[in-house]
Amino acid sequence: MIARIIACGASFAFFIVSCAAFDTNRAGSGSAGTLPHSLHRVIVRYDKASVDHSLPEQIALLQVEPGVLKAQALPHVGMAVVSLDSSAAAEQLVRKLEQHASSVLAVPDTWVTAFDFGARTAQQRRASPPGACSANPACRMRGLIVGDCCPVADGTMLSCCSSRVQDLLMLRSIHGTFISAGESGTLSQVSAPAASSSVFEISANDDGTVSLRSQSGRYLMADERGDIHATGEQIGNTTKFSITRNTDGTVSVSSSFGLYLTADKSGALAVNRAQALGWEQFTIVDKAAPGQRVGNDPEMSRLWAMQDYGGFDIDVPEAWNIWTGEVGKGITVAVIDTGIDYTHEDLREQMWVNPLEIPGNGIDDDQNGIVDDIHGADFANQDGDPMDDMMHGTHCAGTIAGVGNDRQGVAGVAWRGVRLMALKFLDSAGAGRVSDAIQAIDYAVAQGAKIASNSWGGGGSNPALRMAIEHAEAAGMLFTAAAGNEGNDNDVTPSYPANVDCANVISVASTTWLGAVSTFSNTGVHTVHVAAPGSDIYSTVPGGGYRRLSGTSMAAPHVTGMAALVWMYRPQLSMHQVKDIVLGSVRKLSSLEGKISTGGLINAKNALEAAWAFAPPQPPAHAPLALAFEDVDPNIAVYGGTVTVTAAADESDIEYYRIYFVSGAGFQLQGLGEPIPATGASEYTLKVNGSFVPSTYARYLVAVSGRAIGELPAQLQGSAPRVALKDYGRPISGARALRWTGDADRRLGFIQGSLVFDRALNEASVTNYNVYWRMADGSRGPMLGSIDGAGFREPACTGRTCPFINGSRTAAGGFRFERGAYAESEEATISTFGPGRVNVLRFDTEEVYDSLKIGSDEVSGNLSGSVPFVKEFPEGPLNIAWKSDESMQGGGWSIEIFDASPSVEFKINTTALLGSGFEVVAAYGENELQSHVAFVRVMDNVPGHASEPMAAVVPTTGRGLAASSSNGGGAAEPAKATAPSKQGRDRWHTGQGESEPWLPRRETTGNYGRVHWSESVFRRERGSVVRSSFVVQGLAPEVASQPATRAELVRAFATSQTLKDASVRLVSIAAVGDSEAVEGSVAAKIVFEVEGPSGASTAASDRVESALISLAAGGRATSRFDAALGAALAPSPADGAALASAAAALSCRFGASQPLSAMMLAAEAELLAATQATPAPEGRKLRGAVPYVFA
């Protein structure tokens, strides 16, 4: 918060803190393999109806924005993720895109965490009590003897570590017999357990021992003679036992006298052995009752959530007696989390395998942009290996679908048949970016996942995430989400993504083995749907291990596994039907009434029985006969044309036809256009406009028939007709300045030499150049070969300052860019292509704050004594970014760029002369640019008949004047180009403006400090209202609640372009808690709501939300808010003398770099305290006071 310690007294500060997300500049170095924390991202969504360019073109435009490192398209969710090098660049991009009608949303990226880790800071975790598992016999009995399981990282106490633990168990001896307690208290060994006599309740005592109570209500007692019986009325010395877990998984029970419980072969029981050998070893076992099926997994007894004699399990053995998934078609479940240990013995058989990827060959076989994505993908580290480096995702996966009945480990709710898709976006610390989560959702939809399990959240609402979940809903994906671990009411304090209002979301709370809501679990009678076991859950962890964890993170996988079991049982069900079954089959509990919407705990048996009775969709029996489509849109990756559907032979059961994109893996993606009503025609057509951009993963179009009660599946197998997508995309520019070097073969009728040409000005749409003969009659002859494109582009300037940067060609063939004395807040990006070099000829800027960033190297300051100097850059695209801040300026800079030679040589070995010359045609795949064909005439060089080729025309001035076309001679002539600008010699401009004062100049009156927003809690309420809060240090709640102050607080929001027309209402003002205030100072927490203009669209509300996220991220918008609020809250001139004196006394506390507003507010606070009849209370004493609430 405070950047440095002030040594000369108690410090006051003015800054603003909101209340729950992550700063994009996260502290810490990060773990190996994670993305750098200094990377900033913006998520952009375009409106297809108003977009002026195709998505690939939009990506190209984004790529050259100042500070942009990478722009990545997510076509399936209609978005782009832009990575930038600074928060200032991110903020500027958001502000710029807000002005574009085609940009529905531009929002800074936010952070989220796994819901059972990371909720507390590292310092809080270190301050937690040390893991007491090894000292607690109940924990030892469960094998929890290593690590800080008591408490877990989020502070939740595990059940086995609390002071009073109750559990139900049976003890089986080494002989296979069970300990049984009769009504009289006599203990014996029985061959078959009975619920009335073989079940014991175990309670953990405060001294580390346990007590065992029979079903008759009496405790087991062992006396000094070694006799044991169940007659104890209360816990005492003789009813206390110690539990020791043996290395083979068994346990041994010893009395308070240090002797072990023994079961001998005769059936007798005694406590008289000093050592624990074979007869002293027991196994905790569950026995399936009639109507149940329990596998042979040795750790089943640990899975209380599946089956527990306390009665608050989810009846999984009863469900398994109906269906385990072993003989079904299976289902793909995406675990969007920290990854999965796909080598774990209890998971590897259940892992999803990408059918289009060849393992370990280092090639992106399915061409989805990810190499070797065999079991999923890692979006945190941008690679194809989703191995779990934490444990969270692996633990969730084991609960969903650990292999059942395999004689090892545990079993998941979905015993067999699930294909677990590992989508890692959380790093080894359990933190991740929303943009990476969106990429994971995009991948899951494209690869056919039917359910996504999401045990993460935090950071508040993000409209981009909501849109991605909406797209998943459209694709038929169920989205289970953990409700959160803060113990909050999500109706009042939302938690995302659980609070996203989409019809495919199921929000899940956590319960204990006693049926109560877990103390950590969030609830919400309107926003949390169901509850599931989440306390003390035993499951898989990386490295082949197992462990107990607690959290709503552990509850959500139970719902995911049950939904998968239901869907495999009845695969004809729709996503919405599966959700209705999950919610409608709960077991009502009084402990959940009024806390969650259904008031119940999920129940697997009830769900399968409901699925049996639930009427599945009934699609038509008849399918369309044929499908035809040919793309006619020349834009790359954009489709346009006419889709033709041949009607079914019998339309009696058909109400409509629909067209879907299908991935190469055979899974349905988004629909194309609206359904086509079936009217009895023999053929139907659907016009596709040229702005439709399908998913990156789309490979086919499939036509299906449907009716109100069901629709045929869009898949590659079956009766639905399909057509492979073939992009008609064409290059936008072609080869330039084609020339022939001359015939080296002196024989008549033969030639030998080279064709040389310049690459297209921008090869973004060129994959190769094809070389042909041109015949004497002008027709095209045979093809000689092709040359690959390299992604080349000539230097080009983009950004608002480009009109004032002089550009020219140098005599040596390079490009010169010059900026003289410059203004404040300039920005421009010069994009080029390497390899090459940049010569810095002149450089004079304000050091640090005004800079020219050449790739990753930043140049700043007055370098008159160091120029000229050269910076080399490697092959590939290069951005040179110029920016200046709002304060001092300098004399400017001058650079020259010498990039890779655009010339390409195509050698022609001795061959017969077939025509008059050669043609070079740019192509995108198989599609050639016929409107621009470069031609050069060829003369047969025979002694006495030779004709030397003309010299090639090489333009010396003017940008873009080298584009060539055929002239039928020995050289290419330049194409017509726009005349250079007359603003200066050989200078060009982008047409973005003619006058320099594009940004009003203003005098800088003070060096305002940046406002600090952290832990933001931007929460979308129903409708268009967005709620948030911030904290002002040094501002007493009593002062903040005054009408004049409240008006200034509201007025400060007008500094944001997005919020200036919105309605801002203060909800409450209160003193803050210790976690939000600087020690010893007063502080006010202001909760407010923002509502867009009346009648505004959802997109307008999204922009309001984005603006608030931008304020939390820091930057100029935050500085403007700080300055406006600081100036508004400054004392009146009448208090000037006293205020000046107080401010002078405080100046050493702040230093010159502190905001003027901070000193003024601190001085005002001291003046206020000094003039009171009684001393003003300290900020700590104000905390917890009743807030000022405004109607």
| Catalytic machinery residues | 337, 392, 553
Spatial separation of the C-alpha atoms in residues 484 and 184, rounded to whole Å: 48
The helix (H) or strand (E) run that includes residue 1137 is: helix 1136-1150
b/e code 177-193 from CB counts within 10 Å (16+ = b): bbbbbeeebebebeeeb
Say if strands 418-424 and 376-378 run parallel, antiparallel, or are unpaired.
Answer: parallel
DSSP type of residue 981 = B
Query: Which residues, listed in sequence order, are joined to residue 831 by a DSSP beta bridge?
Result: 796, 879
SS3 assignment, position 695:
coil
- The DSSP string of 1079-1094 is TT--EEEEEEEEEPST
Strands (E), 431-495: 431-433, 451-454, 456-457, 478-482
CB 914 within 8 A of CB 774: no
Spatial separation of the C-alpha atoms in residues 262 and 272, rounded to whole Å: 7
Spatial separation of the C-alpha atoms in residues 300 and 402, rounded to whole Å: 11
SS3 assignment, position 546:
strand
The helix (H) or strand (E) run that includes residue 566 is: helix 552-569
Q: Which of 884, 952, 938 is nearest to 771 (CA)?
A: 938
> Distances from the Cα of 1040 to the Cαs of 76, 123, 1066, 1073, in angstroms?
47, 32, 11, 16
Instruction: Write the burial class of residue 18 (CB in 10 Å: 0-12 exposed, 13-18 middle, 19+ buried).
Output: buried
Q: Which of 220, 251, 239 is nearest to 140 (CA)?
A: 251
SS3 assignment, position 482:
strand
Residues 6 or more apart whose Cβ sits within 8 Å of residue 912: 749, 750
**Residue 609 φ then ψ, to 5°:** -65, -35
Strands (E), 413-477: 418-424, 431-433, 451-454, 456-457
At residue 415, what is the residue type? Answer: W
User: How close are the terminal C-alpha atoms of the chain, in Å?
Assistant: 32
Spatial separation of the C-alpha atoms in residues 538 and 985, rounded to whole Å: 75
Q: Which two tokens stand for residue 327?
A: 């003989």
**Residue 340 φ then ψ, to 5°:** -135, 140
Cis peptide leading into residue 137 (ω within 30°): no
CB 401 within 8 A of CB 418: yes
Q: Which of 648, 652, 651, 531 is nearest to 600 (CA)?
A: 531
Spatial separation of the C-alpha atoms in residues 331 and 324, rounded to whole Å: 13
